[in-house]
Structure 1
Amino acid sequence: MTHTHHTHQHGHGHGHQHGDTQAEVLDLDAEVLAEHTASITAWLPVRTSPRRIVDLGCGTGAGTFALLTRFPDAHVTAVDSSADHLHRLRDKAEAAGVADRVDLVQADLDADWPDLGSPELVWASASMHHMADPDRALRRVHDALAPGGLFAVVELAGFPLFLPSDAPAERPGLEERCHAVSDRFHAEHMPHRGADWGPKLTGAGFTLEGERTITVHIERSGSEVIGRYALNSLQRLRGSVADALPADDLAALDRLLDADAPDSVLRRDDLVVRTERKVWAARRA
């Protein structure tokens, strides 16, 4: 949602802003993490190349397009609650010449569970932690999958880190302090964020086939995409920490977020993207 759902996010706090900013964050996510997403789809322990795939909480399509590339004979049903995200996904599919291989389904997975057919692969990136009742969602995925089919759950381990630990000069360690506050906020409002999905998957009847942690460490190397990604991510982080940060920290964060300020993250050349992605691959017996 989310991918995401995912997508997280995907995943990773997508829920605090809506409309274009959220879609832009998902597009930046897709671009920055593209190589890692491709490596995940390459690793998936599929027995035969799936023909029918569902991307659950697809966001603006990071997983959808990675899966279409990885499985050239497959058809993907992309499911999301946001008409805006699906609209962008459709435009991208048309531009890429793959619109005939994608079906779009708008659905709120906490309410009406759509008929997903009988896919051989279901992909949920940064979306499971948004579910009100994830255990029920896992059982529904299990029952929808074709026998022997695979369910891939991908989650980001919290917000990425961007700044060196001695930054900014006037408030070193600012980002770690923001993360500590944000983690407390999310523990209350999003209890499934950071969950270990392994036991939940076996509890829903799956056999766990594989689990891996991918360390993401991307140097900025002058890429303005990373600057925009940092700006967007830190803006979302501000939304969950502003009330609890000391005034000096909040002021320092706002200077980083001011696109016109001399010490804006958009102007820094020392940014990196540091995070972890976790993947669980589970089979329906």
Structure 2
Amino acid sequence: MTHDHSDHQDHGHQNHDHQALSEMLDLDAEIFASAMRTVYADIENAADAPVRSILDLGAGTGAGTFGLLQHFTGARAVAVDSSADMLTGLEQEAERRGLTDRITTARADLDEALPVLDPVDLAWAAASLHHLSDPDRTLGQITSAIRPGGLLAVAEVNGLPRFLSSDTPGGAAELRAHELIAADRAVDMPMMGSDWGSRLTRAGLVVDVHRTITADLASPVPAAVNRYAAAVLTRIRRAVVDRLDPADLHAFDALLDEGPDDVRRRADLHVISSERLLWIARRPA
């Protein structure tokens, strides 16, 4: 997700931003749904016993929680997030899906103390660890929350996806906007792109699986990719609007203005430069 450079927002803007972020997260989950099913299978293959208890750290809209519960049909989950709005939306979706008896929510900041729980079979952290200010300390707490022999699965991103080749309309402007975002991340999110395998080992875990997660999207891409591109680029524009030069801003705005170059209308999109990495690590018995 992009970093929000504004220091203050009124409630209306906060609500709109929450809705936009939730939409982006849900579209991301839709696009990567098939790839994530292979991740859940990897977890099952690595587990030393049936997965009955799950801790979702940084649950967001609950895509990981729901995907894991669909795969591990005998499991219950605790979904943890720092956002009350996210947890409210997750609870509403759990009710819609008939899963309220299998999901408990807990509001907590992962940079502070984790909720006190019985040790779990599986802890799950998808695109949440790069937000940590002291990941080694938090990983130590997470390790303590896993039963001996249990697993921690980490799925991390190295940045936001691009959607356009540089030689297509708006592609060069998109690339320059990404360069600005990358410079921001180096300051604001220095843990993005971290060597999580080494950190997991230092936390006392043994890495069993390390691989790349890829979404197999045949051309033409599903319509969800067009909506996803619009959601991502809208957030990027908000972060860089004051720093793009006028020509780039004009080209970037054409990607979102409902005209012929709008990403919601285009058939030449790709999800590129969005590497997802998976680690599955075990707490020694």
Partner of 2:21: 22
The runs of 4+ residues in structure 1 deviating greater than 6 Å are none
SS of aligned partner of 2:73: coil
Distance 1:121 1:42 in 2: 13
- 8 Å CA contact 2:76–2:103 kept in 1: the answer is yes
Partners of 1:201 and 1:23 in 2: CA distance? 29
Report the secondary structure of 1:281's partner residue.
strand
> Which residue does the alignment assign to 2:156?
155
Structure 2 equivalent of residue 50 of structure 1: 51
Distance in 2 (CA, whole Å) between partners of 1:220 and 1:91 is 34
Q: Is the 8 A contact 2:200 2:206 kept in 1?
A: yes
Matches within 5 A, 1:140-179: 140-168=141-169, 172-179=171-178
- 24-33 or 67-76, which moves further after superposition? 24-33
Give the conservation status (yes or no) of the 8 Å contact 2:221–2:269: no
Question: 1:1-285 to 2 correspondence within 5 Å?
Answer: 12-13=1-2, 18-44=17-43, 45-168=46-169, 172-219=171-218, 221=220, 223-258=222-257, 260-274=258-272, 275-285=274-284
The 2-side partners of 1:208 and 1:147 are apart by 14
Letter in 2 for 1:272: H
Distance 1:95 1:167 in 2: 41
Which residue pairs with 1:5 in the alignment? none
Deviations 1:136-188 (A, max 9, x none): 110000111100110011012211121133121xx553333222221111101
User: Which deviates more, 101-110 or 55-64?
Assistant: 101-110
Aligned length: 271
In 2, are the aligned partners of 1:208 and 1:283 still within 8 Å (CA)? yes
Using structure 1 for the length normalisation, give the TM-score.
0.89
TM normalised by structure 2 equals: 0.89
Deviations 1:32-51 (A, max 9, x none): 11111111111122121211
Q: Let me know the Cα RMSD of the aligned residues.
A: 1.8
Describe the SS at the equivalent of 2:212. Answer: strand
- Structure 1 residues not aligned, in runs of 5+: 1-11
Letter in 2 for 1:72: T
Give percent identity, aligned residues only. 45
For residue 217 of structure 1, report the CA deviation from its aligned partner: 4.7
